[in-house]
Structure 1
Amino acid sequence: MIKAAVPSVLRLIGIRYCGSMSGVSLQLSPDRCLFDEPLRLRVSGLSPGQDVSLQTALTDEGGEIFSSLGRYRAGSSGELDLTRSPALEGGSFTGIEPDGPLWALEPRTPLRRLVKKNVQSPIQLRFSLYQDHEPPGPLLASAAQERSFMGEGVTRVPVREGTVRGSLFLPPGLGPFPAIIDLYGTGGGLMEHRASLLASRGFLTMALAYFDYDDLPNNLGGLHLNYFREAVELLMHHPKVNKQGIGVIGLSKGADLAITMASFLPEIKAVVSVSGCNANSFAPIPCDGFVLPCLGFNAEKIKFTEAGEFDFSESMDDPMDPAFEESLIPAERSSAAFLLLSGLDDKNWPSASYSKQLVARLTEHKKDVEAYYYPGAGHLLEPPYFPLCKASNHKLLGMPMLWGGQLRGHAKAQEDVWKKIQTFFSQHLKHNTMQSHL
């Protein structure tokens, strides 16, 4: 009777329990969580020293399967605890890596990037434990976990006001909340996964599209500062927004747009640049009474890897070259605080060098700036547990683009980056006037 009651008791406290005819159980804690929460997985009922293989898998919205494999050996009590049990050689990762089954996921098809388009539905993860290592034997136990992008009470509101296109994610409660605009790069369209997770952590966040979405221009040629000004004004007039200032976060091209916004729009009080550039890139931007020129690239310096991937890392013009210095973003005009985050294995462009150049400029003008550089991290620094994407097909270019990154270094960087982003925005945007949304 006591043994039979165990599964229901575990479920009551948020642990997914899986029994099996073999007597082996796989327990996940919790069985439903946000995508950025750590994994807690334990196995009991094994024989002491028994070899097992843990396969983790998910199927994305396009039907692509991402999977990882961890090889383990049970302890003397017949249990595995991923916070203490090391993964052995021969799998997707090694060592004590409790979250390894997540960040080591790889697509079955090369050049596929895990992208979550519909953030209102969770990702379903499947965990399967097999006997032995090579080859894996019979299935011993299995379990599933839901990882969501919208926390309880978070709401999504499509934005189609004036010329502004995007989505607004509102935390539960009355507010006022610190507000953030979220921008992605030259892939275009609307990316919502980071914005929805930020809203789940208490920040009212607008995922802002700026080309190739809805009725926006289908290329970067239509950029104008007034579009981003209109988005800021829309947020500032929202009844749940803390009016003391707006934050903006951008990745890649989105990062230099974020810095540009802060340079010309005084409402911006906090900027996060992820893998960004200190110059306006790829397309000129009409600003207040003048046009900010763009940094270009030298096609002769573009390289291709043996796998045929587009290596753009050395082709960009040098923003410190006097010939291109007019494209430098005048960030010293801004009163905002800046957080710059870069991977040292960025193969898209030299974001760490760009960051150091911007730090020098901002420091010279006594601006509030902090910067961090991550060994082994590539260009696509996403929220924690997104699998590394070293290369993928670029939507705008129509060819495979090299992004860089080493598996473990990139994963650890994403965890630290996510903590620093939240701490930074909390420090510079949250004020005593904000009511708790909890």
Structure 2
Amino acid sequence: MTAERTLDVRVVPADAELWRRRTITIEGATPDAVVTVKATTVRNGVDWTSRVSFLADAAGRVDLDADAPISGRYRVADAMGLLWSQTAVDGRPGGLDPESVETPLVTTIEAWSEAGTGSGTSGAGEEHGSAQLIQRFVGDGIRRVEVREEGLVGTLFVPEGEGPFPTIIVMNGSGGGLNEVRAAQYASRGIQALALGYFRVPGRSRYISRTPLEYFETAIDYVTRELAPLGGKPLVSGQSRGGELTLLLAARFPERIAGIVAFVPAAYVFGAQGAADPEEGWDGPTWTWQGEPLEHLWHDNSGVTWQPWDGVAHEDPDRDVYIDGLHDRELVAASRIPIERFRGPVACVSGLDDRAWPSSMASRLVMRTLERSGHEAERLHLDFESAGHITPLPFMPTTNIDVLHPVSGARYSNGGTVLGNARAAERSFEEVCAFIHRATREPQRS
């Protein structure tokens, strides 16, 4: 009977922040054996798993950053593929936001040699090993503070050490809620971050319809007055509808904002779409100012004869409501966000394969408008070729491509590939963190 041998599975660092890349190696296998690796993470009570196989080298070693899998979920040399390629075991699109950011993610990595494989007369026998990889949402020394002042609903994450810190307001998109995970990651990079909720949070509407811009004006003033942001003003950031909102706030309050980061944004104001109050409908207003709705592209648009937010696709699969909407030139002009009013640093992050809406086009329009207007501050556009409606953070699953909208329940596609979205998530986080630090050092232009 063949004796069981232990594989040495090493994760370095084993316990660190969510965004930190790890190395994963396996030693002690039979030379040339096929070594299978399975990663399991429990997220909100659901197992998320990935499984890949490698060919051990002549020394019985596998380095997941140097060796590409020969079988399984992904086929590139990337240790973190064990995480970004995971899917929920029940096969359904699942939520990745944790119930509490104070509870870390624990991934169990199991490795075994496939019986009979490898060099030698009998091949591999019983060879097993395991290790844990821990991803912390809230790093050491970071303070989490709930903000419930002046009608605001948010959570503040304060970095370790003495301020003042670069400070950013972080907003979600049409799913609503609080983006505590992203805010916490910024804090671990020396950036003070307020995750601000504006709907689908306690005390606020269940829908995005008729959200008053005065609420965000209050938030900007609160952060400026109470949180002592480096440079005297906060940055503002949001994703998807929050990206649209970010551009809108920069255009409306240009003197109060230090810089902006718009993830997969829109260049126009749109109606409430899939996050609408059912009584208002998809073509009702999203934003108001002084009680009056802001003009938007779906308001009696003469070029739009259908809408996708009920989950029913157009009979022509190539039809795009966002292109149809541009045919109404008068409404296009009225709903365009006048980003040229903002003179501070601007960053846009988009995916060329965004299937939710054309964020790449919108970001390019923003950059071209700023250039034509003589904008002198930094302009950064990260446009990823194989990415879609990208909003994840590094080393989280990017397999949720076809999903159900959290408000309407309609099915839609985010676009992109699993690998493309993962690469975009990692690179964009690093570049955005650097941009935020640069923006607070750059002299402010009026």
Please say if residues 312 and 348 of structure 1, whose CA atoms lie closer than 8 Å, have aligned partners that are also in contact: no
Partner of 1:99: 80
Length-normalised TM-score, structure 2: 0.85
Task: Give the superposition deviation at 1:221.
Answer: 2.2
Distance 1:37 1:326 in 2: 44
Q: Which moved more, 1:317-326 or 1:187-196?
A: 317-326
The 1:290/1:361 distance shift into structure 2, 3 A limit, reads farther
Task: Give the superposition deviation at 1:133.
Answer: 8.4
Query: What secondary structure, in the 3-state scheme, does the structure 2 residue paired with 1:117 have?
Result: coil
Task: Give the superposition deviation at 1:321.
Answer: 3.1
Distance 2:343 2:133 in 1: 44
Distance 1:73 1:122 in 2: 32
Amino acid at match of 1:422: C
Partner of 2:288: 286
Distance 1:112 1:29 in 2: 28
The 1:365/1:184 distance shift into structure 2, 3 A limit, reads same
The 1:288/1:263 distance shift into structure 2, 3 A limit, reads farther
Query: What secondary structure, in the 3-state scheme, does the structure 1 residue paired with 2:72 have?
Result: coil
Partner of 1:221: 209
Task: Give the superposition deviation at 1:372.
Answer: 2.3
Amino acid at match of 1:167: T
The 1:330/1:307 distance shift into structure 2, 3 A limit, reads closer
**Percent identical:** 24
Which runs of structure 2 are paired with 1:69-148 in the superposition (5 Å)? 69-88=51-70, 90-108=71-89, 109-132=91-114, 140-148=128-136
Length-normalised TM-score, structure 1: 0.87
Distance 1:134 1:378 in 2: 42
Of residues 388, 397, 406 in structure 2, which corresponds to 1:387?
A: 397
Please say if residues 142 and 188 of structure 2, whose CA atoms lie closer than 8 Å, have aligned partners that are also in contact: yes
Query: What secondary structure, in the 3-state scheme, does the structure 1 residue paired with 2:161 have?
Result: coil
Partner of 2:31: 48
Please say if residues 350 and 390 of structure 2, whose CA atoms lie closer than 8 Å, have aligned partners that are also in contact: no
Please say if residues 174 and 240 of structure 1, whose CA atoms lie closer than 8 Å, have aligned partners that are also in contact: no
Task: Give the superposition deviation at 1:204.
Answer: 0.6
1:373 matched to 2:399? The reply is no
Please say if residues 53 and 132 of structure 1, whose CA atoms lie closer than 8 Å, have aligned partners that are also in contact: yes
The 1:428/1:91 distance shift into structure 2, 3 A limit, reads same
Distance 1:31 1:332 in 2: 46
Task: Give the superposition deviation at 1:318.
Answer: 2.6
Please say if residues 278 and 328 of structure 1, whose CA atoms lie closer than 8 Å, have aligned partners that are also in contact: yes
Query: What secondary structure, in the 3-state scheme, does the structure 1 residue paired with 2:19 have?
Result: coil
Amino acid at match of 2:338: P
The 1:155/1:131 distance shift into structure 2, 3 A limit, reads same
Please say if residues 231 and 441 of structure 2, whose CA atoms lie closer than 8 Å, have aligned partners that are also in contact: no
1:67 matched to 2:67? The reply is no
1:411 matched to 2:422? The reply is yes
The 1:71/1:158 distance shift into structure 2, 3 A limit, reads same
1:355 matched to 2:338? The reply is no
Distance 2:312 2:206 in 1: 31
- 1:331-387 Cα shifts (integer Å, max 9, x gaps): 111122111111011110011111111222111101232212111101033211121
1:336 matched to 2:338? The reply is no
The 1:320/1:408 distance shift into structure 2, 3 A limit, reads farther
The 1:239/1:373 distance shift into structure 2, 3 A limit, reads closer
The 1:293/1:100 distance shift into structure 2, 3 A limit, reads same
Of residues 8, 29, 43 in structure 1, which corresponds to 2:12?
A: 29
Of residues 253, 260, 277 in structure 2, which corresponds to 1:271?
A: 260
Query: What secondary structure, in the 3-state scheme, does the structure 2 residue paired with 1:177 have?
Result: coil
Of residues 130, 135, 139 in structure 2, which corresponds to 1:151?
A: 139
The 1:326/1:431 distance shift into structure 2, 3 A limit, reads closer
Please say if residues 14 and 22 of structure 2, whose CA atoms lie closer than 8 Å, have aligned partners that are also in contact: no
Amino acid at match of 1:279: Y
Partner of 2:306: 300
Partner of 1:191: 179
Query: What secondary structure, in the 3-state scheme, does the structure 2 residue paired with 1:125 have?
Result: strand
The 1:270/1:137 distance shift into structure 2, 3 A limit, reads farther
**Which consecutive unaligned segments of at least 5 residues does structure 1 have?**
1-19, 433-438
The 1:319/1:159 distance shift into structure 2, 3 A limit, reads farther
Partner of 2:40: 57
Of residues 434, 440, 446 in structure 2, which corresponds to 1:423?
A: 434
Please say if residues 7 and 111 of structure 2, whose CA atoms lie closer than 8 Å, have aligned partners that are also in contact: no
Please say if residues 36 and 114 of structure 2, whose CA atoms lie closer than 8 Å, have aligned partners that are also in contact: yes
Distance 2:161 2:318 in 1: 45
- 1:103-148 Cα shifts (integer Å, max 9, x gaps): 1111222222422231111001010002218999966011112101
- 1:248-293 Cα shifts (integer Å, max 9, x gaps): 1110000011111111222212111111001122234333797531
Amino acid at match of 1:47: T
Amino acid at match of 1:28: V
The 1:320/1:73 distance shift into structure 2, 3 A limit, reads farther
Distance 2:125 2:340 in 1: 62
The 1:92/1:401 distance shift into structure 2, 3 A limit, reads same
How large is the Cα RMSD of the aligned pairs?
Answer: 2.8
Amino acid at match of 1:373: D
